[in-house]
Structures are given as C-alpha cells and as structure tokens.
Amino acid sequence: MIEFKEFSFRYREGEAPVVRDITLSIPDGCFVGITGAAGSGKSTLTYAINGIIPHCYPGDFYGSVTVEGLDTVEASLTDISRVVGSVCQDIDSQMVSTVVEDEILYGLENFAVPKDEIPARVDEALGAMGIADLRDRTIDSLSGGQKQKVAVASVIALQPRVLVLDEPTAELDPASSVAVFDLLARYAREHGTTVVVVEQKIALLSDYADMLVIVDGGRIRFADTPDAVLAHSDELLALGVNVPRATTLMNALGAQGLYGGPTVRNVAGAAAALKEVLA
C-alpha cells in the first residue's frame, strides 16, 4: 500500500511547489499509470515513492508519503530501496556493468542476498523479462528494447514489493514497448508487485493499467480506472493529455448518437463494441 497524504513538494531551487495537496492510496498489487503534460509533476510523484525525494533532491516536503508502512522521509534511501525497486529514465547511465549477468548481480550483491540464492534469482529475473539468452552479452551490444529489459530484470531480481518506472518505453519502438509492458504486467500479476509507471504513451497505459492518475499543474486531476478516466476525454485533451484513438473514435460515434455504450480503452474494445453496433 502506498499512501500520499496531503503531500506537497517544492525543490530547493524552485520557486513554487511542483506538486501540491496530493492525497492518493495505491492498493497492493495495483498497476498504476501516471501521465500528464511535461512539467506537470508526474516524475516528482515517483521520486516521492522511491525516496529520491527528499533524500537526493532536497526541498520543502509537506504532508507524508508512506510505502508499505515506511515513511519515506524518516526511512533512509537504502531502507526504502529494499521495498521499492526503481528503473530510472536514463538507462545508459543506470548500467554499472559491461555484461548483462553482472548487471543483474549488482543489486543482489549489495543487498547481501545469500550466495546460494543468487543463481536462482538471476535465472528468474532473466526469465521473467524473457532475456535468458542475453546473459553473457555485453550491454553495449544490446538494442534499446533489450537494454530496457535488462534494467527491469536487474531490479526485479531484488524482488521489490513496489516497482517504480520513469518512462520505461520512451526510447522504444511500439513492438518493444508492448513487449516490455506485457512482461512487466505478467511479472507483477504473478508476484503481487505494485507497479507505478510514468508514461506518455496513453494507449499502452490504458491497455495495461488498473489505475490511471492524471496530473496537471502539480495536482491530481483524475485517479481512477482507465475506463472512468477516459470517460472525460475532452477534459484530458484540454489538459494536454492524449487519449487512445479507439476511445476518440467511440466518443465521436457517441456524439453522433451512433454509440451509447461504455467508454472504450483499446482496439479490442472498440472492435467488439462496433460489432455490436453493426449487428
């Protein structure tokens, strides 16, 4: 369970708070997608969960953020990172190793995972991200999608209860993006891991997330199921947040009185709804 209570934060060098009055609970095992326009404060929300705020970026912290009962201000960054695994935006600078296997080992070594457990953990992490065959490759020789999977694998090897990812598919092509989300969602479901992901690709988020959080000007505008959030598609567009084209299509049909069903969030939903309309 992740709980924000009236959380506000102002970076030391900033003039105004970047996020304010955030109150939000994320239940265990929830797959949460956070999105919003550039500078809306969405990354700051993830920093509050993994402790980068206030431990790496100091500033004025109001309210409280607790992760699995851990107060992120009081707990040390290291203690938080035992619970929260983070995949940073800049994958290349996150990598500390030359070879895939070493990258997975790095966190396991640091957290003093017993040596007899390590091989199984490495195997499992590589398997979960579908990259067992990349084990001995140099990281330099990998494609963007493969690197991203290595970054996620190196974090899930630590078996965190919460996984935080900042724009994990920004550099990836659509097929690789879907693959990363697929693997991530499956892993989270099987292990009951809570996933918080910041992402611009709304179509992906709508498809995979249990909860969509829309941030605007440092405040949460919507936090609900994708269907419920996408029902406000006009407001979303006004906030500079895109809407899946399938949703736009069905809403346009709705405006013409040609469709009156529930909000649609992906291609499969639109196709099914249209088949009924045409039947």
Partner 1 sequence: MAKFLEYVPGNSFLHRMNPSVKLICAVLFAIACFATSNLAFLLVLLVGALVLAASCGLGRETAGLCRAVFAFSLILAVVILLTTPHGVPLVPLPWGFIGTGSLLAALTVIVRLMAAAIPLFLVFYVTKMNDITNSAVKQLHVPYKYAFTFTSTVHFIPVFMNDMAGIMEAQTARGVEFDGSLVKKVRLMIPLCVPLLVSSVRKTNSAAIAAEVRGFNLRTRESGYKDYPLGAGDWGALAVCVLVLAAAIALAALGL
Partner 2 sequence: MIEFKNVSASYDGELAVLRDVSFTVGDGDFVAFVGTNGAGKSTTMRLANGLLKPTAGEVLVDGVPTTALKTSELARRIGFLFQNPDRQICCNTVREELLFGFKALGEEGPAAEERVDAIIERFGFDADAEPYLLNRGTRQLLALASIIVLAPPTIILDEPTTGLDFRECVKVMDVVRELNEGGTTVITVCHDMEVVGDFARRVIAMTGGRVVADGATFDVLRDGRVLKEAHILPPQVTEVSMILGRDEGCPEAIAQADTVPQMVAAIAQELQLEGRAAAEAAALANDVAAALSAETVASAAAVVEAKAMLGDAGADGEGGR
120 binds partner 1 (CB under 8 A): no
- Is the separation of the CB atoms in 163 and 195 below 8 Å? yes
Q: Which does 225 bind (CB under 5 to 8 A by kind): partner 1, partner 2, none?
A: partner 2
Cα(271)–Cα(261) distance, integer angstroms: 13
* Per rule CB under 8 A, count of chain residues that contact partner 2: 62
Q: Which does 120 bind (CB under 5 to 8 A by kind): partner 2, partner 1, none?
A: none
- Is the separation of the CB atoms in 80 and 21 below 8 Å? no
Helix/strand/coil (H, E, C) string of 47-89? HHHHCHHHHCCCEEEEEEEEECCEECCCCCHHHHHHHEEEECC
The percent helix, strand, coil of the chain (3-state, each to 5) is 45, 25, 35
Question: Any bridge partners for residue 99, and if so which?
Answer: 138
Shortest distance, position 160 Cβ to partner 1, whole Å: 10
- Is the separation of the CB atoms in 89 and 167 below 8 Å? yes
Nearer to partner 2, 102 or 200 (CB): 200
For 102-124, give the DSSP string: HHHHHHHHHTT--TTTHHHHHHH
Of the candidates 35, 81, 233, 251, which one interacts with partner 1 according to CB under 8 A?
81
Shortest distance, position 235 Cβ to partner 2, whole Å: 13
Shortest distance, position 87 Cβ to partner 2, whole Å: 16
172 binds partner 2 (CB under 8 A): yes
Shortest distance, position 199 Cβ to partner 2, whole Å: 11
Nearer to partner 1, 23 or 143 (CB): 143
Question: What does the DSSP 8-state code read for residue 22?
Answer: E
249 binds partner 2 (CB under 8 A): yes
> 221-234 burial, b if ≥16 CB within 10 A, otherwise e?
bbbeebeebbbbbe
Q: Which residue has the tokens 């938080």?
A: 80
Nearer to partner 2, 80 or 253 (CB): 253
Contact positions with partner 1 (CB under 8 A) in 245-274: none
As a dihedral over the C-alpha atoms of residue 203, residue 208, residue 213, residue 218, rounded to 10 degrees, the angle is -60
Whole-angstrom CA distances from 60 to 8, 17, 63 are 8, 8, 10
178 binds partner 2 (CB under 8 A): yes
Nearer to partner 2, 115 or 275 (CB): 275
Whole-angstrom CA distances from 213 to 16, 33, 38, 144, 246 are 22, 6, 14, 27, 20
Shortest distance, position 74 Cβ to partner 2, whole Å: 26
253 binds partner 2 (CB under 8 A): yes
Residues at the interface with partner 1 (CB under 8 A) = 50-52, 56, 77-78, 80-82, 84-86, 88-90, 92-94, 96-99, 102, 105-112, 115, 118, 136, 138, 140, 154-155, 158
Residues at the interface with partner 2 (CB under 8 A) = 27, 29-30, 36-39, 143-145, 167, 170-176, 178, 186, 189-190, 200, 202-203, 210-211, 223-225, 227-228, 231, 237, 240-242, 244-246, 248-249, 252-253, 256-263, 266-267, 270-271, 274-279
